[in-house]
Structure 1
Amino acid sequence: MKPQLLVGAASSGSGKTTFTLGLLRALKNRSLKAQPFKCGPDYIDTKYHLLAAGEESVNLDLFLSSESHIRNLYAKYGSDADVCITEGVMGLYDGYDGMKGSSAKLAELLGIPVVLILNAKSMAYSAAPVLFGYKHFNKNINIAGVVFNRVSSETHYAYLQQACKDTGVECLGYIPNKKELEVPSRHLGLSIDNSFCMDDFANRAAEIIEEFVDLDRLLKISNMPFCLPDKSEQDELDIRGDIKIAVAYDNAFNFIYRENLAQLKRLGKVVFFSPLDDAKLPSADLVYLPGGYPELYLDKLTENKTMLRSIKAFAENGGNLLAECGGMMYLSKVIVGMDGNPYSMVGVFDQEATMQDMKLTLGYRTFTYNGIENIRGHEFHYSRINDPQMDSISDVSIYNAKGLRTKTNLFRYKNTIAGYTHLYWGELDLMNLWNHKC
């Protein structure tokens, strides 16, 4: 038995992240080990979770992976925790196709209750029909209680409590409408302001939750049996290979799914390196350049000439190299920054990546490559490639979650594979990407 819940909301911007971070820090302050999870492909919320809980978060995504894989991840990473907290994505029922892939579908799959965060800034007793709808819309979803956000006064809260009483939804408390409880805007929708102190924010949010939310009651109503991981499956996963894998990880490159990294560690020995600070690549059979923020460190990346030459030589010599989004931009000949200036990069691909005239491209992706079917990933970027090197574009059709073909390309030069898609290979043998001739 252990408390388990999913933090859901009626819509994005309701306060899920603020509540989740405060809850995680409050549990940590109580000396409880809280294992955070994130519904969906978001890299940034998982970083927030780590800062607030002191435990690395895990993405649970029903488009990127199978239901059995999700159950195994939840059991594996949650087994040693005192509490399991899953932050939802968007509105509770918002998925890539109706309810598919939604927070509600994840809660249903895992059999965990939902604590609903409802933005009450411009709402009083009208919360009643909203709560009634969420309580009765889907009998498979257990709305265990509600926490109201942006409550202006005790009088305001009294109306909301009456709405809960009249609809039979338990009221667990509220978060007052305070400016200091707003997470600042993210750089390009992704990154927090460097001047923002997440530790102070988590502590303040935890104080608010301890004062205004009945945390003891929340833990009691979410206490339920926890399914332990299957030992035979875990033993199989623990088998280690013997290849050497170099993973870029620094302020410029750091978008890595936890289970992707776990899979790499099963393939062999993983070492980390920094394209910003290290002089050259470590010895490796496989190099992974994940996404991140190269556009914020263009001066430093272009000045590290020995690293640029080292990566270029690795690619020219036929080394296995996988690059995603920011990593793919880094392999281009130049990146044009937000200042409009070009910065020389590795030059594996004779093309220009640019941050000019930024336009958001996002969504799930799926494709078949090198005989491997149903490779899945997610795309989120504001940059684009000008005049891509045509002879490096693989003859691969990449589709969105609706099955419609996208304009996304997959690039190939010798054994370098690159593209905008952040791949998920928690259920995939990554080395099959290079095992056969295309």
Structure 2
Amino acid sequence: MKSQFLIAAPHSGAGKTTVTLAVLRSLQRKGLRVQPFKCGPDYLDPKHHTLAAGNESINLDRYMMPDAHVRELYAKYTDGAAISIIEGVMGLFDGANKMQGSSAELSVFLDVPVILVVNAKAMAYSAAALLYGYKHFYAGLTIAGVIFNFVNTPTHYRILQEAAADVGITALGYLPEQEQIKIPSRHLGLHISAETDYNSIINNAADHLEKYINVDELLELTKRAAPVYTRSPASPAGDLRIAIAQDEAFNFVYKENINVLSQLGSIQYFSPLKDTVLPAADLLYFPGGYPELHLPALAANTSLLQQLQHYKGKILAECGGMMYLGTAITDESGTIFPMANLLPVHTSMLQKKLSLGYRQVFIDDVLLKGHEFHYSQYEKNTALTGSGIRVLNARDEVLATPVFKTDNILASYLHFYFGDNVKGLKKVLGI
């Protein structure tokens, strides 16, 4: 038996990320090995989790991943941990298509109870109706406890505590509002600022949590039989040389994507910002990130850009990586910065518009899944989606999202998840 739970909320903005980070740090400070997970395709929350727990956070996603893969990942990373904590995504029941891929669906699938974080700043006994609805809406869902956030007085909390008791849900405490523990706003919803001392913020959040929340009761309420993990025999690594862009401009990478790439050969990392020599490699992987925040440095590294134009191996590029392979990127002020010129596309931070959602990409007979999240747009796009390629959203609606495929390049705005599909990736890339 070990404590396992999913921290969720009725809606975004209730404070579930701050509570998650506070719980992770509180347990880590007690000397407990805690394994964090993130429901959904988010890149930033896992970075925060990893900092708070001292243990790398893993994405679990029932839209992008087959069920067997989700179970395997959860068992694999829970094995050896004293406590496993999943941070939910959006509201508890919000998914790609109704509840598909939602926090509630994942909770029931893994038989993990929910700790609900409720923003009760402007709520009193009406919390009983909200909790009753969330408790009974989805068969099989277990809400083990509730934390009331943004509650500033014990009197207010007593009313909320009575509401929870009348519904049959344990109230674990309340958290007064405190400016010092708020995570700063994100660049495009996805940025960790180098100027922010996140470690201090997380420590302050843990101190705050320990004053008002019964962490021991939380752990006792959420004890469940641990999943059994059977380790598979290691496969011999291939002989490909793989180079992955990794620096402040390119860092949106799923751990399991790296794990499956390591099965294909040796991996090394390089920085398009700082390295002037392109590594000798059979496959270059440019993941997404923040190239728009580092355009002068990327454009100034002409040595690397010129070497890319003569590179003959395979290239996989996602979102920011694709932007870097284009002819140019225009920043928010209208300044144009030349890029690698491997794709006839020019992207721009002017006229920003959010493109967001899960994607299915059919490339001939191979299906790759991923998601799209960006504000930049094409200023010029003379490249056409490769023949035999179709892009659909989570509702199976056909989209006009371009996917660029040449003899040696696969690139698009999509962030692919291929941690369960190395065969499909090899076939698409021709390696």
Equivalent residue of 2:381, what SS? Answer: coil
Within the candidate set 371, 382, 394, 2:375 is matched to 382
What is the match of residue 42 of structure 2?
A: 42
Alignment of structure 1 residues 162-177 onto 2, 5 Å: 162-177=162-177
What is the match of residue 330 of structure 1?
A: 324
Deviation at 1:134, TM superposition (A): 1.5
Task: Say whether residues 1:299 and 2:292 are aligned partners.
Answer: no
Deviation at 1:105, TM superposition (A): 0.5
- Provide the aligned C-alpha RMSD in A: 1.3
Deviation at 1:204, TM superposition (A): 0.6
Query: Are the aligned partners of 1:185 and 1:192 in contact in 2 as well (CA < 8 Å)?
Result: no
Provide Cα deviations, 1:328-367, integer angstroms capped at 9, x if missing partner: 0000111111121000110001221111110000100002
Alpha-carbon distance in 1 for matches of 2:307, 2:128: 62
Provide Cα deviations, 1:117-159, integer angstroms capped at 9, x if missing partner: 0000110111011111112222301100000100021111111
Query: Are the aligned partners of 2:124 and 2:160 in contact in 1 as well (CA < 8 Å)?
Result: yes
Could you tell which deviates more after superposition, 207-216 or 392-401?
392-401
The one-letter amino acid paired with 1:90 is M
Query: Are the aligned partners of 1:312 and 1:347 in contact in 2 as well (CA < 8 Å)?
Result: yes
What is the match of residue 74 of structure 2?
A: 74
Task: Say whether residues 1:244 and 2:241 are aligned partners.
Answer: yes
Alpha-carbon distance in 2 for matches of 1:101, 1:278: 39
Question: Which runs of 5 or more structure 1 residues have no equivalent in the other structure?
Answer: none
What is the match of residue 420 of structure 1?
A: 413
**TM-score normalised according to structure 2 size:** 0.97
Deviation at 1:281, TM superposition (A): 1.6
Deviation at 1:431, TM superposition (A): 1.4
Deviation at 1:75, TM superposition (A): 0.7
Task: Say whether residues 1:261 and 2:258 are aligned partners.
Answer: yes
Provide Cα deviations, 1:216-261, integer angstroms capped at 9, x if missing partner: 0011111111112123xx225x442221110000000000011111
Could you tell which deviates more after superposition, 184-193 or 36-45?
184-193
Could you tell which deviates more after superposition, 252-261 or 192-201?
192-201
The one-letter amino acid paired with 2:45 is D
Query: Are the aligned partners of 1:392 and 1:412 in contact in 2 as well (CA < 8 Å)?
Result: yes
Within the candidate set 362, 369, 385, 1:368 is matched to 362
The one-letter amino acid paired with 1:52 is A
Deviation at 1:394, TM superposition (A): 4.5
Alignment of structure 1 residues 36-435 onto 2, 5 Å: 36-231=36-231, 234-235=232-233, 238-314=235-311, 317=312, 319-372=313-366, 374-390=367-383, 393-429=386-422, 430-435=425-430
Q: State the identity as a percent.
A: 45
Alpha-carbon distance in 2 for matches of 1:140, 1:366: 29
Matched residue count: 429
Question: Which runs of 5 or more structure 2 residues have no equivalent in the other structure?
Answer: none
Cα distance, 1:221–1:305 mapped onto 2, change above 3 Å = same
Alpha-carbon distance in 1 for matches of 2:320, 2:358: 17
Provide Cα deviations, 1:354-382, integer angstroms capped at 9, x if missing partner: 1111000010000211431x210100000
